[in-house]
């Protein structure tokens, strides 16, 4: 059959076209990431006050800035010192006992042995006069001060002085800060400019597995719980092996709609050495001290890891940081799938 006959034969043309399309589809399928089930959601935590008391819930909405439950947004309130630097649990350990609750249509500040203080709706509304740029490590975040009565309430409790700290609020549903420059530089492929949380140090969601937590507990003499690590999601893995989460460096789907995007491993600081039930720092700086014996980043893996280790120093890696890629609801027991 000559070339002209081939061109004029529609069956041959359609057959060839179908073959090409089929090969193209097969190639695309073979190169596309596959979703692999890794476990189920075991526990969910929201921390309305950064460094404050955790709220364990059965359902959360993963919005762009992170987990939400009822009127609570994760890390939407924080302490602020006189110089407008963020005041952490490392400096004010008693903040670990302060919680924000929702009752009778209002948010309330609650601290042990004190009357609850109602947070008025109008005090949560933005105005230019109340705006303050709070410094959290190497970035500044636009927030508002709530007012003198809230400052006195929380400052007296955490510092024994009504003038030591103020209470700030992340007033917007959208990010009011840039991504941290050093993280953008050290994880250029996974820390996007859009991966920005509210008042969190790095990312909007922190995820840890039960197996990794159990492995750490077995190494310690101190009886710590998951609340010490201040993660948002605890996952019960199908494998039961610790540190499976180290391999989850793509997208993650929780439940039917929520999709998260990997940012970086979570490097730990002395904040995890404060007992969330007593607000007392462990005298031996556990579990941080033990984590440093086996969870420091290996600088010999690559040139980039060497740069990362130089910046992270003795900050061990435990849990993983994600941002919200697709918003959705997540419940206890939901399946967890990751891209492989």
99 forms beta bridges with 110
Q: Which has the closest alpha carbon to 158: 81, 97, 114?
A: 97
- Per-residue pLDDT at 22: 45
Query: How many alpha carbons fall within 13 Å on the CB side of residue 23?
Result: 6
CATH of segment(s) 35-339: 2.40.33.20
Output 290-294 pairs: Cβ under 8 A, ≥24 positions apart.
290/216, 290/219, 290/220, 291/216, 291/316, 291/318, 292/316, 294/219
Q: Are 264 and 191 in contact (CB under 8 A)?
A: yes
In the block, residue with structure tokens 């793509």: 250
Q: Outline where the chain has alpha helix (H).
A: 3-8, 10-31, 148-159, 181-186, 210-219, 288-291, 303-312
Domain ranges of the chain: 35-339
Mean pLDDT by 10 residues, the chain (340 residues): 51 49 42 86 98 98 95 96 96 98 95 98 97 97 98 98 98 95 95 95 98 98 96 99 98 98 98 98 98 98 97 98 98 97
């Amino acid at each position: 059959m000559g070339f002209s006959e081939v061109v004029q034969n529609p069956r041959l043309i359609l057959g060839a076209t179908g073959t090409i399309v089929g090969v193209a589809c097969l190639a695309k399928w073979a190169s596309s990431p596959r979703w692999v089930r890794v476990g189920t959601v075991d526990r969910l935590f929201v921390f309305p006050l950064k460094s404050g008391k955790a709220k364990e819930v059965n359902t959360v909405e993963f919005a762009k800035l992170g987990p939400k439950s009822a009127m609570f947004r994760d890390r939407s309130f924080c302490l602020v010192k006189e110089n407008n630097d963020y005041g952490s649990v490392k400096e004010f350990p008693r903040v670990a006992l302060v919680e924000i609750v929702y009752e009778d249509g209002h948010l309330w500040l609650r601290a042990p042995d004190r009357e609850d203080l109602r947070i008025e709706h109008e005090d949560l509304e933005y105005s230019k006069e109340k705006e303050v740029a709070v410094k959290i490590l190497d970035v500044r975040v636009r927030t508002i001060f709530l007012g003198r009565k809230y400052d006195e309430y929380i400052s007296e409790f955490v510092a024994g002085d009504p003038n030591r700290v103020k209470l700030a609020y992340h007033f917007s549903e959208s990010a009011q800060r840039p991504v941290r420059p050093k993280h953008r530089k050290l994880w250029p492929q996974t820390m996007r400019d859009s991966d920005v949380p509210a008042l969190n140090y790095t990312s909007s969601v922190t995820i840890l597995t039960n197996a990794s937590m159990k492995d750490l507990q077995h190494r310690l003499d101190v009886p710590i719980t998951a609340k010490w690590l201040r993660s948002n999601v605890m996952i019960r893995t199908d494998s039961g092996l610790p540190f499976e989460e180290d391999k989850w460096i793509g997208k993650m789907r929780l439940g039917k709609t929520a999709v998260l995007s990997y940012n970086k491993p979570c490097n730990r600081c002395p904040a995890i050495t404060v007992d969330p039930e007593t607000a007392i720092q462990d005298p031996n700086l556990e579990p941080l001290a033990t984590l440093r014996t086996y969870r420091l980043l290996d600088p010999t893996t690559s040139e980039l890891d060497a740069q990362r280790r130089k910046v992270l120093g003795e900050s061990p890696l435990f849990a993983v940081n994600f941002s919200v890629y697709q918003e959705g609801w997540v419940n206890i027991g939901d399946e967890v799938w990751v891209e492989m």
